[in-house]
Structure 1
Amino acid sequence: MSDLFDYDAELRLHNEVFRAAARVGPHDHVLDIGCGTGQSTREAARAAVDGSALGVDLSAPMLERARRLGDDQGLANVTFQEADAQVHPFPPERFDLCISRFGTMFFADPVAAFTNIGRALRPAARLVLLVWQERDRNEWATAIRRSLTAASATPRGPNPFSLADPAVTEGILAAAGFADVGFTDVHQPVYYGADSATAFDAVLRLWEFKDLLADLDGAAAQQARTRLRTTLDAHHTDGGVYFDSRAWIVTARRRH
């Protein structure tokens, strides 16, 4: 079994909303930030039949899978590159559209990162992001975290919820050279597996929860695992294990 968490399965319902919001055109050249195993990049490439799609990510194992899937699907207009989007020297004014499905929340300096991304976009090019809303609006984060530890504070610095506040995010994008910033609520559940045993294995591949468990001693870790199984059992439906979530589709344009 792969050690990689299956974000495509987790985010299937989110991805449908994201793909519709991206509105990739047939001639678009698309940049996908934090592409992971490349589902959103490949979908962009299929839509951009006379254009192209470049996916960048920091994870070499995820990119290896992304390239393999792109080759298997015969996509000649998709490429993947291991790169830090905050500092990578992208070709200037190359792309018509930048997309990111939960890949932009972890920049150490978000203004610098989005400024760098903006340089790669043509004037008036579109930006379409999917980011999490606040932690307390995301049951997958609160319920699972409670089962693993008594701590409940949102971490400081880059974290999954760093772009949750629309005012903060709009300020970051404005400072980075973007205008016409908009937010659309996305209310879809996340999926962790067909049953609680599968979900248990999946959840412990997520770095945030894996690290929480690693910080506990043997007895406490076993108690946390038991609580986690109970929480997952409580979220098991006929269709699998689901947790509620809230996200934003963030749209903007690069200023001329």
Structure 2
Amino acid sequence: MTRTLQAAPANAEQVKAWDGEEGAYWAEHADRYDRALRGYLTPFFEAAAVGPADRVLDVGCGTGEISREAGRRAPRGSVLGVDLSTAMLRVARQRAEEAGLGHVRFEQADAQIHLFPEGGFDLVVSRTGTMFFGDLDAAFRNLARATRPDGRLVQLVWQPAVRNEWFLTLTTALAAGRDLPGPPPGAPGPFALSEPDRVRALLTGAGFTGLGFEPFAAPMHFGTDADDAHRFVVGQLGWMLEGLDDTGRARALDDLHAALRARETPEGVLLPSATWLITATRR
């Protein structure tokens, strides 16, 4: 029997994107996206400190790399990965099965409103997945409800855009000289949780305490060379070319290629990035 995703109205646009073309693109390029963030994997799991019998919830699990690694560290526990994307969850399930991780399972769910078992998890984790909720207050209250007392929350989020050269480089090139408006303050998006003061208010209001914010920086891998990275970025961000005439489009694509070529290294095209590793404990 096919289940219908129950999603919060505030998350309608996110469902449209992630359970549509954007999610499908991520699923198709799962290895590339995982490699892009590989520099954060070690500190993330050092902070998570997954115990061998922990019950883990992975929010915005995507194609499941974090869920699978959590499962390896919790062989006597369980892992539930949730995401909006049917396509990414299909990849996640297949890879968990291939890895022999029967205690790692996945479910399509809107974590903002999903009825998780109360206190059902020892640890809630998310790698760049919590910034896209339409109602962050409601989302973190729901995640707090799902976390047992003294259970922990560990999430990796982007620092502000001005500290993320990968974002500025790509969007500046594709803007082709246009002054494109950014999202309204507080709107869902990559940088919705980039300001620690806002995050402190959200998490303490939801029922978390003992907050920690540790800054990390790591290069993101976008491709083996400029041509490879260019194809990948245009596939993801090609929507930014809408509204340009042929001359403007050619300029944007040339500017992007030049920017990526300038970042070629023997290890591939690398662009600097900066994140917060946020930890908290459920009261």
Q: Do Structure 1 and Structure 2 share a fold, with TM-score over 0.5?
A: yes
Q: In the alignment, which residue of structure 2 is the partner of 1:3?
A: 25
Structure 2 CA distance for partners of 1:105 and 1:215, relative to 1, 3 Å = farther
The SS at the match of 1:253 is strand
1:53 partnered with 2:67: no
Offset of residue 217 of structure 1: 3.2
Contact 1:135 1:154 in 2 (8 A): no
Query: What is the aligned counterpart of 2:218 among 179, 183, 188?
Result: 188
Give me the whole-angstrom Cα distance separating, in 1, the residues matched to 2:84 and 2:242.
Answer: 23
1:175 partnered with 2:205: yes
Q: In the alignment, which residue of structure 2 is the partner of 1:236?
A: 264
Query: What is the aligned counterpart of 2:55 among 11, 29, 34?
Result: 29
Give me the whole-angstrom Cα distance separating, in 2, the residues matched to 1:69 and 1:205.
Answer: 24
Give me the whole-angstrom Cα distance separating, in 2, the residues matched to 1:33 and 1:121.
Answer: 12
Give me the whole-angstrom Cα distance separating, in 2, the residues matched to 1:204 and 1:22.
Answer: 34
Contact 1:57 1:82 in 2 (8 A): yes
Contact 1:87 1:116 in 2 (8 A): yes
Offset of residue 14 of structure 1: 1.3
The SS at the match of 1:97 is strand
Deviations 1:39-68 (A, max 9, x none): 000000110010011000011111100001
The SS at the match of 2:131 is coil
Amino acid at match of 1:246: A
The percentage of aligned residue pairs carrying the same residue is 44
Q: Which has a greater percent of helix? A: 2
Give me the whole-angstrom Cα distance separating, in 2, the residues matched to 1:14 and 1:153.
Answer: 30
Deviations 1:74-119 (A, max 9, x none): 1111000111110111111100000000000011110100001111
Q: In the alignment, which residue of structure 1 is the partner of 2:89?
A: 63
Give me the whole-angstrom Cα distance separating, in 2, the residues matched to 1:130 and 1:193.
Answer: 23
TM-score (norm 1): 0.95
Offset of residue 152 of structure 1: 5.5
The SS at the match of 1:111 is helix
Offset of residue 153 of structure 1: 4.7
Query: What is the aligned counterpart of 1:98 among 124, 130, 137?
Result: 124
Mapping 1:1-256, distance limit 5 Å:
3-4=25-26, 5=29, 6-149=32-175, 150-151=178-179, 153-156=181-184, 157-206=187-236, 209-255=237-283
Amino acid at match of 2:222: Y
Amino acid at match of 1:13: G
Give me the whole-angstrom Cα distance separating, in 1, the residues matched to 2:126 and 2:234.
Answer: 24
> Where in structure 2 are there 5+ consecutive unaligned residues?
1-23
The SS at the match of 2:132 is coil
Contact 1:146 1:152 in 2 (8 A): no
TM-score (norm 2): 0.86
The SS at the match of 2:218 is coil
> Where in structure 1 are there 5+ consecutive unaligned residues?
none
Deviates more, 1:236-245 or 1:4-13: 4-13
Structure 2 CA distance for partners of 1:92 and 1:181, relative to 1, 3 Å = same
The SS at the match of 1:124 is strand
RMSD: 1.3
Deviations 1:132-189 (A, max 9, x none): 0000000000111110113365322111001000000011101111111110011111
Number of residue pairs aligned between Structure 1 and Structure 2: 252
Give me the whole-angstrom Cα distance separating, in 2, the residues matched to 1:252 and 1:151.
Answer: 38
